[in-house]
Amino acid sequence: MDPISEYCQSVAEAVRRIQSEQRDAMTAVAALLADKVESGRSIYMTGCSHSSLFAQEAYYRAGGFFAHQSDFPARHDARRSSGDAHEPI
């Protein structure tokens, strides 16, 4: 098998393992977060350096999670890069 196919197979296996082993935990967290948002609460995520990548992924991506409150520096303001995707409805 070529290296690209090996890599893709490895990633697919990891995702299947995470899905089967972590399904209950992910469902519980999703329900907890949904309850908070439905009750008007915000979700705060932070980190420094590479540990902030998860929070940045949730915030910066166009169509990302709008209830997330960012503490990222102004130079990383997602509203400048992804338009109205993060404006509250």
Model confidence pLDDT, tens digit, residues 51-60: 778 777 777 7
Quick one: pLDDT at residue 62?
59
87 pLDDT higher than 90 = no
Query: Where does residue 85 rank: exposed (0-12), middle (13-18), buried (19+ CB within 10 A)?
Result: middle
Using pLDDT thresholds of 50, 70 and 90, give the confidence band for residue 7.
very high
Q: What is the domain partition of the chain in residue ranges?
A: 1-40, 42-89
82 pLDDT higher than 60 = no
79 pLDDT higher than 90 = no
Q: What three-state secondary structure class fits 27?
A: helix
d(CA 62, CA 71): 18
Using pLDDT thresholds of 50, 70 and 90, give the confidence band for residue 47.
confident
